[in-house]
Amino acid sequence: MNGVHDMGGMHGMGPIVEDKNEPVFHQEWEGRIFAMNRAMGAWGKWNLDASRHSKEVIPPAEYLRMSYYERWVAGLVELIVQSGLTTRAEIESGAPASGSVRSLPALTANKAVALVEKGVPARRSVNVAARFQVGQRVRARNMHPVGHTRLPRYARGKFGTIDRDHGVFVFPDTNAHFLGEKPQHVYSVRFGARELWGTQAGEKDSVYVDMWDDYLEPA
Amino acid sequence: MTTTRRDFLTAAAATAGAAMTPDVSQAHQHEHEHQHQAVPSDPALRVKSLESLLVEKGLVDRAALDALVDAYEHKIGPRNGARVVARAWADSGYKQRLLSDADAAIAEMGYGGLQGEHMVVVENSAKVHNLVVCTLCSCYPWPVLGLPPVWYKSAPYRSRAVIDPRGVLREFGLELPEDVEVRLWDSTAELRYLVLPERPAGTEGISEEALAALVTRDAMVGVAKVSVSKAGNAA
């Protein structure tokens, strides 16, 4: 979707503010919502792509006004309500509905440690033919899906070169909407900075964007 | 339902303390503080309420939350990445493995896992400078750098790194000569990028541990160089 989250190339967002002695979490609740996202994800009701999309659908003005972890709160609430793990009334009241069944947590402390150490690979060992070869000139498709996509707007319609083939990965555009993993090759595509931004960009500079097969067409 | 959701979002957005790290400028943030002063709801309370609900429903184990917070507050952070960089500087064989198969080389050092499942290491030199961003969200190599700092996740960095990397670097105090090629990596997929900074002059013969102490998080994202004078700076 052409949301405000797709920020590459926008102006007017202000200076970059670096806090030299920044804590990992600024307030306790930030750590709690971070951890709750992982713990609730363990129920397998959604995936990483759906989780990213849950923040993209926050209306633009609210998205910009919120702090980073406030978006995580909003996103998690959407996911747990949509997946039926809780009702909105329960979230508003802070208490389980009367008669609701108590579950056993999907993620224990031991499993949490294993999750952190092992991760959740998005690469798939399935045999899918690559549509493009390293060194090939390609064009990023000029497409504007209303759902989740990882093709940034600034690259659409632009010409680049396949720099590296990363192998086969889950396709976020379908996976985010529970329409299947549609595994396909992901490439690092090199775009000349001037192809993207015109002569204001450095002549020798380039931007590398990781792109799925479905984002590309031969040039 | 839509109304309820918007109410929730508004409530979640309503409070803002100085440490709440907004995406918009400090000035705007200040305005919001005044606008919403009277609103009682704040994210700390909402998150607390959400946690007790999920615990009561048996959906979440508090010990699992504690373990996750502890891992990222105390165990995983940029010192891991600094050790990888120092090893690459000290051992050319390791450096070759790191550049050709980052996952395996990082695993040799005992690191890996969530949001570092598929790593790519890009090398800086006198002629090439690499810089990493995620314009779409906040993708970042957790096992080697920990969770990202606020500036990395903020709208100013996400919007500008890709269109004006040299300007962004200047803001971080790094002026690159025109003949240096800037390579900006937008981590839009599941690959996670670590910059291998240039080893500073004058560090010949010092121990790997001492080298690691020179390597900063910012240098491994690509917004700084490693310098000898910054020894001990953890940023």
Q: ipTM of this predicted complex?
A: 0.97
Q: Is residue B140 part of a domain?
A: yes
What is the rounded average pLDDT of the residues A109-138?
97
Query: B133 and B176, same structural domain?
Result: yes
With the CA atoms of B216, B220, B222 and B225 taken in that order, what torsion angle do they form, in degrees rounded to the nearest 10? 40
Q: Which of A48, A35, A55, A18 is nearest to B154 (CA)?
A: A18
More confident residue, B22 or A65: A65
Co-location of B49 and B90 in the same domain = no
Report domain A28-118's class: mainly alpha
Q: Supply the pLDDT for residue B235.
A: 44
Q: Which helix (H) or strand (E) holds A82?
A: helix A68-82
Q: Which of residues 157-186 of A touch B (CB under 8 A)?
A: 166, 169-170, 186
Residue A15 has its nearest CB partner, among B13, B28, B171, at: B171
Q: Name the active-site residue from B49, B52, B125, B137.
A: B137
Q: If we measure between CA atoms, which residue out of A4, A78, A51, A71 comes closest to residue A175?
A: A51
Partners of B130 in the β-ladder: B183
The residue extents of the domains of chain A are 28-118, 137-218
* Structural domain for B161, as ranges: 77-230
Closest Cα in chain B, distance from residue A157 (Å): 16
Rounded to whole angstroms, how far apart are CA atoms A82 and A203? 48
Q: Which of A61-70, B7-16, B194-203 is predicted least confidently?
A: B7-16
Q: State the Cα–Cα distance between residues B223 and B175, nearest whole angstrom.
A: 10
CA distance A180 to B94: 38
Percentage of chain B modeled with pLDDT above 70 = 80
- Is the same domain home to B180 and B133? yes
- Write the pLDDT tens digit of every residue in B174-232: 999 999 999 999 999 999 999 999 999 999 999 999 999 999 999 999 999 999 975 44
pLDDT for residue B229: 76
Cα–Cα distance, A165 to B177 (Å, whole number): 31
Does the pLDDT of residue A122 top 50, yes or no? yes
- CATH assignment of A137-218? 2.30.30.50
Examine residue B67 and state whether it is found in any structural domain, yes or no. Answer: no
AA identity, residue B49: S
Grouping H, G, I as helix, E, B as strand and the rest as coil, residue A185 is: strand
In a domain, B66, yes or no: no
Same domain, B221 and B170: yes
Q: How many CB atoms lie within 10 A of CB A29?
A: 22
Residues B106 and B209 in one domain: yes
Q: What is the mean pLDDT of chain B?
A: 86
Is B92 an active-site residue? no
Position A81, amino acid: V
Query: Which one is catalytic: B138, B154, B159, B227?
Result: B138
Element (H, E) at A166: strand A159-169
Task: Please check whether residues B40 and B110 belong to one and the same domain.
Answer: no
CA-wise closest residue to B17 among A5, A28, A32: A28
B137 and B179 inside one domain? yes
What residues of A are in contact with residue B114 (Cβ under 8 Å)? 115-120
**Are residues B56 and B167 located together in one domain of the fold?**
no
- What is the pLDDT at residue B35? 41
- Provide, rounded to the nearest whole percent, the portion of chain A with pLDDT above 90: 98
Question: Is the domain of B165 the same as that of B112?
Answer: yes
Whether residues B56 and B166 fall in one domain: no
Q: Do B54 and A115 touch (CB under 8 A)?
A: no
Q: Would you say residue B98 lies in a domain?
A: yes
| Closest residue in chain A to residue B15, using alpha carbons only | A66
Single out the residue of A6, A131, A203 nearest to residue B159, CA to CA. Answer: A6
HEC-encoded secondary structure of A10-72: CCCCCCCCCCCCCCCCCCHHHHHHHHHHHHHHCCCCCCHHHHHHHHHCCCHHHHHHCEHHHHH
Q: Do A78 and B5 touch (CB under 8 A)?
A: yes
Residue range B72-83, pLDDT digits in tens: 999 999 999 999
% pLDDT > 90, chain B:
79
Asked, colleague to colleague, whether A28-118 and A137-218 share their fold, the answer is no
Residue B52 is among the residues annotated as catalytic for this protein: no
**Residues B208, B212, B213: CA angle, nearest 5 degrees:** 120
Are B16 and B113 members of one domain? no
Say how far apart CA B189 and CA B17 lie, in whole Å. Answer: 33
Domain count along chain B: 2
Instruction: Convert the pLDDT of each residue in B166-188 to its tens digit.
Output: 999 999 999 999 999 999 999 99
Say if residues A8 and A156 touch (Cβ distance below 8 Å): no
Q: Which DSSP helix (H) or strand (E) runs through A77?
A: helix A68-82
Q: Report d(CA A82, CA A74) in Å as an integer.
A: 12
CA pair distance B1, A36, nearest whole angstrom? 23
Is-catalytic flag, B227? no
CATH number of B97's domain: 3.90.330.10
Contact criterion met (CB < 8 Å) for A202 and B178: yes
Q: What pLDDT, on a 0 to 100 scale, did the predictor assign at position B230?
A: 52
How much of chain B is helix, strand and coil, in % rounded to 5? 50, 10, 40
CA B208 to chain centroid: 23
Q: Is residue B235 part of a domain?
A: no
Q: Provide the pLDDT confidence category of residue B101 given band limits of 50, 70 and 90.
A: very high
Q: B215 Cβ partners below 8 Å, 6+ apart?
A: B78, B81, B82, B85, B86, B197, B226
Q: Is residue B100 annotated as a catalytic residue, yes or no?
A: no
The answer to whether residues B161 and A201 touch, using CB atoms and an 8 Å cutoff, is no
Yes or no: say if B214 and B231 are a contact pair by the CB < 8 Å rule.
Answer: yes
User: Which is it for the CA torsion A132, A134, A135, A141, positive or negative?
Assistant: positive
Is there a contact between B127 and B179 (Cβ–Cβ < 8 Å)?
yes
- Both B52 and B90 in one domain: the answer is no
Q: Do B182 and A17 touch (CB under 8 A)?
A: no
pTM of the model: 0.90
- Whether B72 is covered by a domain: the verdict is no
> Which 8-47 residues of chain A touch chain B by CB within 8 A?
8-11, 13-22, 24-29, 31-36, 38-40, 43
Query: Within a domain: residue B81?
Result: yes
For residue B1, the Cα-to-chain-centroid distance in whole angstroms is 36
What would the pLDDT profile of A13-39 be if each residue is shown by its tens digit? 999 999 989 999 999 999 999 999 999
Please compute the mean of the pLDDT values over residues A195-217 and round it to a whole number: 97
